[in-house]
């Protein structure tokens, strides 16, 4: 018994919605970074699901998925380093406290 493509797409859409909600609704910079990571994982899941059901002989989608995971890991490392530096200066991890950095 195989799992249909729509099941993967529903799970990917739910992950994307959860990640988008996390990015929009959270005040903590760490939670925003985690939301972005969930968004990237949802995209990777959809890419691999489409690859599996459309062209299983072509491995370019797997390479793209590995690239997505790599970018997510780098994004988390750099993002957490920036959040730690800002926390040391401002003593808060809330996104609203960093609004003056836009200029």
Is 100 part of a structural domain of the chain? no
pTM of the model: 0.84
What are all long-range contacts of 33-36, with beta carbons under 8 Å and residues at least 24 apart? 33/75, 33/76, 33/79, 33/80, 33/83, 36/72, 36/75, 36/79
Q: Which domain holds residue 42?
A: 5-92
Reported as a pLDDT band with limits 50, 70 and 90, residue 36 is very high
Is 26 part of a structural domain of the chain? yes
Per-residue pLDDT at 77 exceeds 90: yes
Per-residue pLDDT at 17 exceeds 80: yes
Per-residue pLDDT at 101 exceeds 80: no
CATH for 10:
1.10.287.3510
Is 102 part of a structural domain of the chain? no
Is 20 part of a structural domain of the chain? yes
Count how many domains the chain has: 1
pLDDT score at 34? 93
Is 27 part of a structural domain of the chain? yes
**Exposure string over 57-79, b if 16+ CB within 10 A, otherwise e:** eeeebeeebeebeeebeeebeeb
Per-residue pLDDT at 61 exceeds 90: no
């Amino acid at each position: 018994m195989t799992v249909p493509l729509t099941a993967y797409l529903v799970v990917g859409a739910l992950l994307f919605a959860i990640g988008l909600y996390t990015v929009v609704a959270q005040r903590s910079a760490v939670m925003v970074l985690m939301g972005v990571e969930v968004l990237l994982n949802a995209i990777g899941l959809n890419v691999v699901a489409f690859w599996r059901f459309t062209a299983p002989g072509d491995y370019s989608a797997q390479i793209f998925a590995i690239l997505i995971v790599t970018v997510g890991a780098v994004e988390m490392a750099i993002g957490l380093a920036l959040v730690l530096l800002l926390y040391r200066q401002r003593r808060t991890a809330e996104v609203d406290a960093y609004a003056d950095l836009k200029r």
